[in-house]
Structure 1
Amino acid sequence: MFRYALGLLLVAAVAQATEFANCDAGKPIDALRVVGCETLPCQFPRGQDIRAEMDFTADSEADFLGPKIRVKALGMWVNYPIGYDDACDGHLLAGSCPLYGGDKATFDIRIPVLSSYPKIPLDVEVTLTDKDENPLTCFFITGQVVD
């Protein structure tokens, strides 16, 4: 019975994984789960937050994880403020800072999609950086703002 339950949990976890692309900078992430999105492009409803969990493995010691969000809409990349500077400060669902090489962690991502945003396609890039803004890990997804 235990094996059956464990198997169901593993299938559910895999089914919730979201496709993503790796960035050129930083180490690739281990996995991504965007709520309501398993295949790209993700649908981002206006007036709701994009909610995601990013699993990654630290390459080296890190006592600071600077979240950098960039969004490309209408051909232009813009930095997207999320209201905090350090993911170590209450935004890790698994792991804790300082992280050491080989430590696994999960970053809890919340990106507001305002009701006033137009219904357009967009690209989202999420990077975690060190104190000197060197990229540690990064992913990229495509999406569409919808009602």
Structure 2
Amino acid sequence: MNKSTCILAAAALLATFAPCSESKPRYHGPYIVNRWYLMQEFSETPHTDCGSVASIQNVEVIPCDSDVCNLKTGTNVTININFTPKADIAKLTAVVHGVVAGVPMPFHFPQVNACQNSNITCPLQSGQGYSYSVKLPVLGSYPKIKVVVKWELKDATGKDVVCVEIPARLV
């Protein structure tokens, strides 16, 4: 959703509130629909596209409720990426790095085949939307530092179909 659509949705949400001085009840049905719609839109995690060939619709890290995601060591976080490839893709490989002081260091991620146990099945079709969803183990052995999580989904030729960078802090 672009910013003008978002503003219109917010205006529609505000229009459903009854003024405090009104004595009779007012219908609030659209409020529920608009509120749900806006919550879906604003659940996006701040990220930077680092060279995706696909169109990225949404990136979400769960749990993450700030501009810098606090990733608790010894737990798992869920990564959701909604994207639309611009070409047919036979296979995808997940590559995850923690970038510290500009140096990429591999994150332990056992699920390298991005087409298994990720809510998507290969081959992927050009122009069709997909919702990639996996759990990332945040190992207890990781140092408690600020890091940029670089998440790549590469095609068979090594090209970044998806590449996003997510600011995070290991806590």
1:126 has 2:151 as partner: yes
Q: Which moved more, 1:27-36 or 1:44-53?
A: 27-36
> Which residue is equivalent to 2:79?
52
Is contact 1:54–1:109 with CA below 8 Å preserved after alignment?
no
4+ runs deviating over 4 angstroms? 1-4
SS in 2 for 1:30: strand
Identity %: 22
- TM-score, normalising length from structure 1? 0.86
- Tell me the CA shift for residue 127 of structure 1: 0.9
Is contact 2:55–2:86 with CA below 8 Å preserved after alignment?
no
**CA distances 1:46-102 after superposition (whole Å, capped 9, x unpaired):** 11112110000011111211111111135531122411332112212xx53221110
> Which residue is equivalent to 2:23?
none
Q: Which moved more, 1:66-75 or 1:12-21?
A: 66-75
1:108 has 2:133 as partner: yes
1:84, 1:33 → 2: CA distance?
18
Mapping 1:1-147, distance limit 5 Å: 3-73=30-100, 75-92=102-119, 96-146=121-171
Q: Quick one: structure 1 residues 80 and 98, their matched pair in 2 at CA, closer, same or farther if it must change by over 3 Å?
A: same
Give 5+ residue unaligned stretches, structure 1: none
1:15, 1:112 → 2: CA distance?
25
Give 5+ residue unaligned stretches, structure 2: 1-27
Whichever structure has more helix as a proportion of its residues is 2
Is contact 1:69–1:127 with CA below 8 Å preserved after alignment?
yes
